[in-house]
Chains A and B, each alone.
Chain A
Amino acid sequence: MKHAMDKKFNLRKFLIILLVVITVGAVATTLFVLLKNSDDPDAIPEFAPQDTDNNAEAIEDDDDEEKLEASEGGGAVSMSYSKEVSISLSEKKASIIFWNPKRSTMDAVLQLIVISGEQEAVIAQSQLLPAGYKLEKMDLLDTAKLSAGKYSGKFNILYYNPETGERAVVNTNIPVDIQVKE
Chain B
Amino acid sequence: MSIKRVLAIAAVICLCAAVLASVTVMAAEPCAFSYSLDPADPVAGGQVTLTISLDNFDTIGNQIRGLQVDVSGIDLGELEIVSRDSLMPAPDPIPPGVSINTTSFASGRIRLTYIGIPTGPVTDVLQITFNILGTEAGSIELPVSYLVQTDAGQETYNDTITIDFDAAPTEIYDVDVTWGSMEFVYEDIWNPDTHDYDGIGWSCAADANKILVTSRSNVPVAVTFGYAAAGGYSAISGSFEDSGAVSINTPVVLAEGDDTPVSTAAYLKLTSAKPASAISSGTVIGTVTVTIGVPS
Contact = CB atoms under 8 A, between A and B. Distances in A.
A-B interaction: yes
Contacts of B41: none
B180 interface: yes
B293 A174 contact: yes
B292 A170 contact: no
Contacts of B105: none
Interface in B248-293: 284, 286-293
A68 B178 contact: yes
B177 interface: yes
Contact of A97 (B170, B175, B182, B286): B170
A74 interface: yes
Interface stretch (A55-63, A75-83, A138-146): A75-83
Given A71-B207, A169-B287, A76 B173 contact: no
Interface in A6-46: none
| Consensus secondary structure, chain B interface | strand
B164 interface: no
A172 B226 CA distance: 10
Given A169-B288, A170-B290, A173-B289, A76 B176 contact: yes
B208 A71 contact: yes
A68 B176 contact: yes
Given A80-B172, A81-B173, A170-B287, A74 B179 contact: yes
Contact of B171 (A68, A71, A75, A82): A82
Given A169-B286, A171-B289, A175-B293, A73 B170 contact: no
Interface in B167-217: 170-183, 207-208, 211
Nearest to A174: B292
Contact of B178 (A69, A83, A97): A69
A80 B216 CA distance: 9
B294 interface: yes
| Consensus secondary structure, chain A interface | strand
Given A83-B171, A169-B288, A73 B176 contact: no
A51 interface: no
A163 to B, nearest CB: 15
A76 B180 CA distance: 9
Contacts of B180: 71, 73-74
A174 B291 contact: yes
How big is chain B's contact interface, by range? 20 to 34
A77 B211 CA distance: 11
B292 A172 contact: yes
A83 B170 CA distance: 9
A72 interface: yes
B238 to A, nearest CB: 11
A128 to B, nearest CB: 18
A75 B291 contact: no
Contacts of A148: none
Given A73-B183, A82-B170, A83-B173, A172 B178 contact: no
A80 B170 CA distance: 12
B290 to A, nearest CB: 5
Nearest to B290: A172
Contacts of A68: 176, 178
A54 B173 CA distance: 24
A182 interface: no
Contacts of A172: 177, 289-292
B208 to A, nearest CB: 7
Nearest to A175: B293
Contacts of A120: none
Contact of A173 (B181, B182, B290): B290
B179 A75 contact: yes
Contacts of A83: 171, 173, 294
6 contacts: A79-B174, A81-B173, A84-B170, A171-B289, A174-B173, A175-B294
Interface of A: 68-84, 97, 168-175
Per CB-CB distance, the 4 closest pairs between chain A and chain B, nearest first, are A73-B181, A76-B178, A173-B291, A74-B180
Given A71-B178, A170-B290, A175-B293, 15 more contacts: A69-B178, A71-B180, A71-B208, A72-B181, A73-B180, A74-B179, A74-B208, A76-B177, A80-B174, A81-B172, A83-B173, A168-B179, A169-B284, A170-B287, A172-B289
